[in-house]
Amino acid sequence: MNREIFWLKALKLTKEAINKGALIPLETKIINNNSNLYIPFEIRYLISDKPDHLKTVKSDINPFLPWDKRLEISQINNSHILILNKYPVQLGHMLLITNDWQPQNGWLRYKDMQALATVNNDTTGLWFFNSSPEAGASQPHRHIQLLRRNKSESMCPRNRWFLDLITSTTNTKNILASSTKVLPLNDIKSKIESDELYNKYIRLCIQIGIGDPNIDDKPKNPYNLIITPEWIAVVKRCRDCVKGISINALGFAGYLLATKDSDMEWLERNGPVKLLERVVDHSLIN
């Protein structure tokens, strides 16, 4: 069983950071809809003011150089820092950031996977990475995000969809499936190995057509990376926002956040799947 030292420290630090005003949890409410279109998604509506990272205009200020020391959980492998997300979507929402400047829109390095594995082998959950603003990234400094999960609970609402995609051979005509590549992970004794993560990351990038980290200077397309103890997936993107709803990797995991700018009538008529299709396919506009 994992000791979850990072998770316990994140919980303790969260209380302190809120009291100091360093942490601003997002206030949301779950949107219920009787239509099957919303299954299996979890859709929330933002009640509190829209934070800076959700606004259209991106700030030129790098909040990670330096990072807010009040949010620091731990140094990781002398190359990364584990911190709390200033605007958490759940309790203990963590960011794994690089010590030095590394671009969010560049290829992930082996060191990134080493740091991720170090954290994951203590505190596991749903990992996700947004490669650029077009894929939902809010900051240009490299950061990989973690939502802690128990091993016994589902990692995300669309977990079954990704597991089914691993074994499916008839998905080429499905818009979302053709924009997604998934590989299983060998979760041995609750540990994820950095070698396996990095090698499968490269393999997925090549398969989905965004380039080869060993050959291409930068990814050819924006993308999202999602990692759970069971699988690793890459989704190729073409745009960030549709119908006033910004989609990052969490959208593909099954979590959507609507705001006052969102076209809720369209979402109720068409459902979340149609929304995701429009951020992976340029031909779908309306």
Q: Across-strand partners of 241?
A: 246
Angstrom distance (rounded) from CA 65 to CA 98: 10
Spatial separation of the C-alpha atoms in residues 236 and 279, rounded to whole Å: 9
What does the pLDDT read at residue 162?
97
pLDDT for 61: 77
Cβ(267)–Cβ(37) below 8 Å: no
Helices (H), 214-261: 249-253
pLDDT at position 32: 79
Cβ neighbours, 10 Å, residue 275: 20
Handedness of CA 227, 28, 44, 141 (dihedral sign): negative
Instruction: Determine contact, residues 102/74, Cβ cutoff 8 Å.
Output: no
Partners of residue 134 on adjacent β-strands: none
Give me the pLDDT at residue 176, please: 95
- Looking at residue 190, its pLDDT comes to 58
Contact assessment for residue 157 and residue 140, using Cβ atoms and an 8 Å cutoff: no
What is d(CA 253, CA 146) in angstroms, rounded to the nearest whole number?
Answer: 13
Q: Please give the Cα distance from 61 to 68 (Å, whole number).
A: 13
Backbone angles phi, psi at 117, to 5 degrees: -65, -40
Q: What is the pLDDT of residue 72?
A: 98
What separation in angstroms does the CA of 192 have from each of 82, 114, 140?
18, 10, 27
User: What is residue 282's predicted lDDT score, i.e. its pLDDT?
Assistant: 79
Look at the block and give the residue holding tokens 């979590």: 255
Question: For 132, phi and psi rounded to 5 degrees?
Answer: -170, 170
pLDDT tens figures, 164-196:
999 886 656 789 999 999 999 986 555 788 999
Is the link from the previous residue into 272 a cis peptide, with omega within 30 of 0?
Answer: no
All residue ranges of the chain with pLDDT < 50 are 57
Q: Check residue 286 and give its pLDDT.
A: 61
What is the pTM for the complete model shown? Answer: 0.94
The fold of the 5-278 domain, in CATH, is HIT family, subunit A (3.30.428)
Check residue 85 and give its pLDDT. 96
Query: CA-CA distance, 79 to 282, in Å (whole number)?
Result: 37
84 has which bridge partners?
94
Contact 146, 96 (CB under 8 A): yes
